[in-house]
Amino acid sequence: MPQPVTAPRQHALSLRRTLLLGILLPVFAFLLINTLVLYRQALDAADTAYDRTLLATAKSLGEQLRVTGSGNDVRIESTLLYSALEAFEADNRSRIYYRVSGLQGEMVSGFDDMPAWRRDIPQENLYAALVNFYDDEYRGVPVRMAVLLQPVSGVYEQGMATIQVAETLELRETLARQILIDTLWRQAALVLLIALVVVFVVQRATRPVRAISHALGARSENDLSPLPTEGAPRELLPLLDATNQHMLRLSHLLEHQKRFVRDTSHQLRTPLAVLKTQVQSAQRGDVEPLQALEEIGHTVQRATELANQMLALAKVEQLRQEKSAPVHDWSAVVRLVALDLSALIAERALDFSITTQPASVRAHEWALRELSRNLLHNAIKNTPAGTALTVALVTDARTAALTISDEGPGISAALRERLFQPFATEPRQNTSVPGSGLGLAICREIVQSLGGAIDLDNRTQSGQVRGLDATVRLPLATPNPSA
């Protein structure tokens, strides 16, 4: 058996991948930004901590200063040895340099090649001292510089000394790298934990979708039963309901097709068998040629009418699947149908009258014509010759009503129960016109597809049936403001 040809699938993101990317990518971006911010804050905290050490070093240098002399011989002296600064060096990876300048900027002690301070003390300072911190370069190496203006005094004089302390950045950079590594490890662990939780949650959230997909894949081709909705997430209920409604429509369509094929094969078998018998009888010479041709023509006509009605019933189901239909004036269609059937009306010498009002309904013209033709043709066939037949189309605020009234014998109670079933009708009382059993079924299908209603009621007078009223009501395409 040849396999159905399927169109190539376009590569698209799965629901799980979409959820994972939609959740994890923003989380990754946030954590990356957060890592950079934390790293910057950690560096600032490290600078603050080491700047305090530099300030403490500068203050220690200031405590070793004194003013000697007086007048023009006043000067600042320092008794600090460089070996005393080793206590402020955290390890051998960083070096501390210093310079002490006197009242006139002269060199007092320290490294004479250190550039002199030419900056200003900041207006806002975190420390209770006249200190300035900045990044500089000394001997081709980046350093962190602290400048402290230290008041000093002697027996006779006092002044302001300038103390510069510089520290190389090896220790700060090592601490910054360690902070970065520790931050990255923590963020990586957090990302991994978030990813595992998200994957687990997404797997659980998409489990019903996978279960529905597997259930549909395991079904047979003809299985159109509804999908179970018990225990399904609320977000999936609209999809399941829409799918079940679509499958219900497909089930009805498939059942209609099966019934159509079954009824067609059953109903056409009889006239074809009769036609075959009539042809064989004519070939043997059992009947006169003219009589045989007349009988064959009658059988062909019945088979043709039956086939046309079966096709009409199938077309009604096709129109039912269409979402929208044009707007037509029902009154014009009714008058055209009456004109087409005027020869049959004249043949039976009926007292025919028709009155219509404009009625715009949303329906295909074929459906309106088939509906009107079946009802009127059925009334003509079942109305005694020479009696009255009335057609009236009236409208109110929201509906249009077509009523076809004859003076026939009406319908029996037994027939009313199965009147609209295909091939279930029978001749009316006191008539010999048999009907095919499909006309009213076609009418009912058309009316239901258009959202209307159809009724067949006996018209009585003094307890006696005086005729039959066939009434069809269809909604107007637009409300009638004049009604």
pLDDT digits (tens, 9 = 90+) for 106-133: 888 888 888 878 777 777 767 777 888 8
Would you say residue 5 has pLDDT above 50?
A: no
- pLDDT at site 482: 54
Would you say residue 139 has pLDDT above 80?
A: yes
Q: Could you read off the pLDDT of 342-389 as tens digits, one per residue? A: 999 999 999 999 999 999 998 888 888 888 988 998 889 888 999 999
Which residues face 154 on adjacent strands? none
Neighbours of 98 (CB within 10 A): 24
Residue 179 CB burial class (10 angstroms; 0-12, 13-18, ≥19): middle
Residue 32's identity, in one-letter code, is L
**pTM of this structure:** 0.48
Q: What is the rounded CA–CA span in Å between residue 183 and residue 33? A: 12
Q: What is the rounded CA–CA span in Å between residue 312 and residue 450? A: 15
Which of 258-272, 288-302, 402-416 shows the lowest per-residue confidence on average (mean pLDDT)?
Answer: 258-272
Would you say residue 1 has pLDDT above 70?
A: no
- pLDDT at site 430: 41
* 454 closest CA partner among 409, 413, 416: 416
Could you give the domains of the chain? 29-178 (no CATH), 238-320 (1.10.287), 327-475 (3.30.565.10)
Phi/psi at 335 (5° precision): -70, -35
